Amino acid sequence: MDSQRIILHVDMDAFFASVEELCDPGLAGKPVMVCGNRETRTVVAAANYEARKYGVSSGMPLGIARAKCPRGVFIEDKWGPDLMELDDWKRLIDYLAERKLNNLGIGLYGCWCVQYDGTITEWINVPVPGHPELRREWTIRWYSPSDNEEKEITYLPPIFEQDFLGEIVAYGRERGVEVIPYVNSLGHNTLIPRLIPDFAAKTEDGEPEEFGYCLSNPAVAEFVKGWYGHIYETYLKPHGVHTFHIQLDEVGTGFCRCEQCRQTPNERMFQDWAMTLAKHLVSLGVQNVVIYNDQFTRHMSAWDEAFVERLREEGLIDHVIIDWWWYSNESINPQADPKMGYGVRSWVKPMTCYYNWSRWDPRQRNVEKMLQRAHTERAEGAASYSVFDPAWGLEFDALAEYAWNNRGAGPIHLFEEKWAAVRGDGDLLEARRLLDRAAAAPGFGPIWYYAYTYQRAGKPWPRRYPLEALEAVADLPEDLQMLRQAGERARLLLDGRSDDLSRGMIAEAARLQCHGHAFQAMAQAFEAARGDADDRPDPMSLAAEIDRARASVVEAMAVMETHKPHYLVPCCLRDMSVLHEFLGFLSEQLAEIADGSREWSGIEWFIENEIAQRGRAVQ
């Protein structure tokens, strides 16, 4: 019966099973579950080969069959999640299970750009056998209002130090949540090539770079295959997990230029590398090898029919899944659209929360768009890009609803109303919409420190915060007032609520309110310094307003400290500490203008040293 599909009826609600045309050849390679009418027949009448890979079989009750197709979240390895303890991971699994989300991705290796004090931010979340040098500690500093002092911790991620990935996988299995690793190699990688220069991509002169791999060096493939194998055999296989995400996104300039590597076009190198890893994992027993579309379709043109044919010839076509990610609330990038997949199995990856350590960031429209595209393109799974922050409850619930009930969910604004009725009431919805409207204002985007922690082409480094931000928003006083008021009003609407969702939103509202206030006060001083010398306000009255804004930042930090999950507090407070510190510095400078020891033109609008040291790697 393997090759025969008998289609009796298709459940139209669940996107992963939605099939609108019978006998559609486009269904080949999709995990189609063919079920009776839900009212009259509640078992799977036929399940094709792909569906059976997820454990769907004929005769299985429909509810169970639907539960097998993946939908859930991917938690990236970065500030915040790196401090999650085993209990936090379990709590996340419970949260997902309550929403019938059945898939939790955990980033085990990822590296980022030059950030904070100019070092590269990078994580490794499981020990690498034979490579003790890859044990990697972090230091993070922040100001704690409750203790009125600066704090500093140096730590290994608990998941590394206590090596509990296997326990997370086992707990997920108990709760019906498959835990899968995301382990990058090419792409977002700096730690391994930097600490093992022999593996690193080389310049044309043969000098090792601090990122990328020399793929002509057979030791690189041997290492990565060995490490992947260790992860699969140690943490996944014993618990019946046979899915592995190899990422391969945002490779950027990480291609080796050594004599041997540069003889092969980057596209071909990339394709061969993906093929090598997929073949190896499948040979070990992995059923599903998931890869981002990103480098294939967005940064290169490496995804074509010839490559798909190679996957078929190598026996990989049934095992490879392309994971299409796109963050936008407005539209789907045509280069990141599962339409481009040539019929290969696919997931979609919207965003449910990401910038949580820096600012409010609504993504429910992105979830709606990506899940609708998944529905029309018959993607078999959805795993959002995320951090576990209950403040983004609307996004998590939208992901669950649009995955389970795409047709019934309706447009997102109607879903928001249903959501508010289930999770709270009209005040919750109004608070949410206040935050979302604020996030759409032109004055919102530029004011958050996080945007200035990265190097950018053409910008001085370290970036000059809040100077760059003030230059962007000094002429938007109405926006700053609106941000402040939106935060204040949302806090009033949610005041006294004690559920995690509301508490998280209260913290977000407080953060918005104090940033609006701080930038209003700073913009006044900034305008005074830039303006007519004869028409300047009294510097001490400006300083007094700066001090009030600083007090509101401290108050918001105290709310953040008590309302956010513990693992998010240091990274959230680090960014706010920068603002807190600068406001103190600005107040001092204004006092110096008042006593004649500083000129208006001599105000420094950023601090380079202390602030820049707030998060750094331990060497």
Q: Please say whether the beta carbons of 141 and 152 come within 8 A.
A: yes
Closest distance of CB 301 from Zn ion, Å: 22
Q: Please say whether the beta carbons of 95 and 391 come within 8 A.
A: no
For Zn ion, which stretch binds (CB under 5 A), given 80-88, 118-126, 258-266, 332-340?
258-266
Q: Which is nearer to Zn ion, 273 or 449 (CB)?
A: 273
Taking CB under 5 A as the criterion, which residues in 273-292 touch Zn ion?
Answer: none
Q: What are 288's two structure tokens? A: 């599903």
Give the separation between CA 354 and CA 360, rounded to whole angstroms.
9
For Zn ion, which residue of 47, 65, 126, 258 counts as binding (CB under 5 A)?
Answer: 258
Q: Which is nearer to Zn ion, 220 or 612 (CB)?
A: 220
Closest distance of CB 434 from Zn ion, Å: 53
Q: Which is nearer to Zn ion, 195 or 317 (CB)?
A: 195
SS3 380: coil
SS3 106: strand
Output the CA–CA distances (angstroms, integers) from residue 132 to 163, 192, 201, in the order listed. Answer: 14, 12, 21
Give the burial class of 252: count Cβ atoms within 10 A of its Cβ; 0-12 exposed, 13-18 middle, 19 or more buried: middle
Q: Which is nearer to Zn ion, 84 or 269 (CB)?
A: 269
For Zn ion, which residue of 44, 62, 224, 256 counts as binding (CB under 5 A)?
Answer: 256
Closest distance of CB 261 from Zn ion, Å: 3
Q: Which is nearer to Zn ion, 203 or 541 (CB)?
A: 203
Distance of CA 272 to the CA centre of its chain: 27
Strand partners of residue 324: 348
Taking CB under 5 A as the criterion, which residues in 140-159 touch Zn ion?
Answer: none
Q: Tell me phi and psi for residue 117, to 5 degrees.
A: -80, 20
Taking CB under 5 A as the criterion, which residues in 432-471 touch Zn ion?
Answer: none
Closest distance of CB 190 from Zn ion, Å: 17
For Zn ion, which stretch binds (CB under 5 A), given 5-13, 181-189, 249-257, 305-313?
249-257
Query: Angle at Cα 114 formed by Cα 575 and Cα 472, nearest 5°?
Result: 55
| Nearest alpha-carbon partner for 176 in 235, 239, 101 | 101
Give the separation between CA 261 and CA 265, rounded to whole angstroms.
8
Q: Which is nearer to Zn ion, 162 or 263 (CB)?
A: 263
Binding mask 467-506 for Zn ion (x = CB under 5 A): ----------------------------------------
Residue 95 CA neighbour count, 13 Å, CB half? 22
Q: Which is nearer to Zn ion, 216 or 481 (CB)?
A: 216
Q: Please say whether the beta carbons of 231 and 184 come within 8 A.
A: no
Q: Are strands 33-35 and 320-325 parallel, antiparallel or unpaired?
A: unpaired
SS3 164: coil
Radius of gyration of the chain (CA): 26
Give the separation between CA 512 and CA 504, rounded to whole angstroms.
13
Give the separation between CA 105 and CA 272, rounded to whole angstroms.
25
Closest distance of CB 202 from Zn ion, Å: 5
Sign for the pseudo-dihedral over CA of 527, 531, 535, 540: positive
Q: Which is nearer to Zn ion, 162 or 253 (CB)?
A: 253
Give the separation between CA 130 and CA 527, rounded to whole angstroms.
58
Q: Which is nearer to Zn ion, 224 or 256 (CB)?
A: 256
Q: Which is nearer to Zn ion, 214 or 579 (CB)?
A: 214
Q: Which is nearer to Zn ion, 97 or 195 (CB)?
A: 195
Output the CA–CA distances (angstroms, integers) from residue 422 to 329, 425, 426, 428, 503, in the order listed. Answer: 24, 8, 10, 10, 17
- How many residues in the shown chain lie near Zn ion by CB under 5 A? 5
Q: What are the strands, taking DSSP E only, across 97-215?
A: 103-115, 119-124, 138-144, 149-155, 178-183, 200-202, 208-213
For Zn ion, which stretch binds (CB under 5 A), given 29-37, 157-165, 253-261, 453-461?
253-261
For Zn ion, which residue of 73, 261, 387, 435 counts as binding (CB under 5 A)?
Answer: 261
Closest distance of CB 198 from Zn ion, Å: 11
Could you write out the DSSP letters of every residue in 343-365? T--EEEE-BS---TTT-----HH
Closest distance of CB 217 from Zn ion, Å: 6
Closest distance of CB 300 from Zn ion, Å: 18
Q: Which is nearer to Zn ion, 202 or 369 (CB)?
A: 202
Binding mask 205-244 for Zn ion (x = CB under 5 A): ---------x-x----------------------------
Single-letter amino acid, residue 441: A
Q: Which is nearer to Zn ion, 42 or 216 (CB)?
A: 216
Give the separation between CA 59 and CA 41, rounded to whole angstroms.
10
For Zn ion, which stretch binds (CB under 5 A), given 261-269, 379-387, 474-482, 605-613?
261-269
For Zn ion, which stretch binds (CB under 5 A), given 134-142, 257-265, 315-323, 569-577?
257-265
Distance of CA 389 to the CA centre of its chain: 11
Q: Which is nearer to Zn ion, 21 or 204 (CB)?
A: 204
Closest distance of CB 214 from Zn ion, Å: 3
SS3 127: coil
Q: Tell me phi and psi for residue 562, to 5 degrees.
A: -100, -15
Closest distance of CB 196 from Zn ion, Å: 14
Closest distance of CB 222 from Zn ion, Å: 15
Closest distance of CB 210 from Zn ion, Å: 15
Closest distance of CB 269 from Zn ion, Å: 9
Strand partners of residue 47: 33
Closest distance of CB 255 from Zn ion, Å: 9
Q: What residue ranges bind Zn ion (CB under 5 A)? A: 214, 216, 256, 258, 261
